[in-house]
């Protein structure tokens, strides 16, 4: 009994073609999904690091305001106000490091750049006794983004990939100010180049 043309099955070539088209669509969809996940992860990392930078900025301004208030009263700076003198004296640098080199590099530097880099304990508005680092802890791995991690008592536990460079300047008119370069560099998973963020905060001397 001969089959009618409408009852014939698909040939092997038609099946292979259909499988190939399906595979191409599936691979393309997975690539788009992976790209979307990477973009979302990168955005989250940048948001988290931006919050860290903002916390350092607010701590600097808080210390500066305390120092200005103490100066206007004519007393010797103590407590939070004394932190300003420590920052500008102990951590003041002649110039800032070249941040553009980090953005154009293939990885973040192994050592924190700058002449006298430091970080603040943003929860206590004090200079942290934990130095910024670019290396993983002994026996550990690097965190996914630059961050200042704290202990339960609000002391700084570890600092990775974020630091401050203080550059005191005296203008031609005698006005003094300090430019604080707050910088961050970290190797984002899945990215071939380091991710960098930075800002500059200028705070004026009250004299």
Instruction: Look at residue 189 and tell me if it is in a domain.
Output: yes
199 or 139, higher pLDDT: 199
Number of domains in the chain: 1
Instruction: Look at residue 4 and tell me if it is in a domain.
Output: no
78 or 121, higher pLDDT: 121
Instruction: Look at residue 40 and tell me if it is in a domain.
Output: yes
Most confident of 55-64, 186-195, 198-207: 55-64
Q: Which residues contact 129 (CB under 8 A, 6 or more apart)?
A: 156
Residue at token pair 């800002």: 199
Find residue 127's DSSP bridge partners. Answer: 120
* pTM for the full predicted model: 0.79
For residue 104, what pLDDT is reported? 66
Q: Tell me the C-alpha distance between 84 and 68, whole Å.
A: 9
pLDDT tens-digit map of 67-112: 999 888 887 888 899 999 899 889 989 889 888 777 666 778 888 9
For residue 170, what pLDDT is reported? 83
Domain span holding position 28: 11-204
Q: Which residues contact 144 (CB under 8 A, 6 or more apart)?
A: 45, 186, 188, 189
Instruction: Look at residue 3 and tell me if it is in a domain.
Output: no
Instruction: Look at residue 2 and tell me if it is in a domain.
Output: no
Instruction: Look at residue 63 and tell me if it is in a domain.
Output: yes
Instruction: Look at residue 66 and tell me if it is in a domain.
Output: yes
Q: Which of 60, 65, 37, 173 is nearest to 126 (CA)?
A: 60
């Amino acid at each position: 009994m001969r089959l009618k043309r409408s009852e014939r099955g698909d040939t092997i070539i038609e099946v292979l073609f259909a499988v190939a088209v399906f595979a191409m669509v599936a691979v393309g969809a997975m690539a788009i999904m992976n790209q979307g996940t990477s973009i979302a992860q990168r955005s989250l990392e940048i948001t988290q690091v931006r919050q860290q930078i903002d916390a350092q900025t607010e701590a600097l301004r808080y210390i500066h305001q305390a120092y200005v208030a103490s100066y206007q009263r004519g007393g010797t700076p103590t407590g939070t106000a004394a932190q300003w003198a420590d920052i500008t004296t102990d951590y003041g640098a002649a110039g800032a490091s070249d941040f553009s080199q980090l953005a154009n590099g293939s990885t973040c530097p192994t050592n924190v750049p700058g002449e006298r880099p430091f970080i603040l304990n943003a929860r206590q508005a004090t200079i942290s006794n934990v130095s910024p680092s670019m290396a993983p802890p002994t026996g550990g791995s690097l965190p996914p983004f630059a961050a200042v991690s704290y202990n339960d008592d609000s002391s700084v536990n570890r600092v990775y990939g974020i630091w401050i460079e203080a550059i005191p300047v005296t203008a031609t008119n005698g006005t003094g100010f300090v430019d604080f370069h707050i910088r961050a560099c970290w190797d984002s998973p899945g990215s071939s180049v380091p991710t960098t963020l930075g800002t500059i905060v200028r705070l004026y001397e009250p004299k």
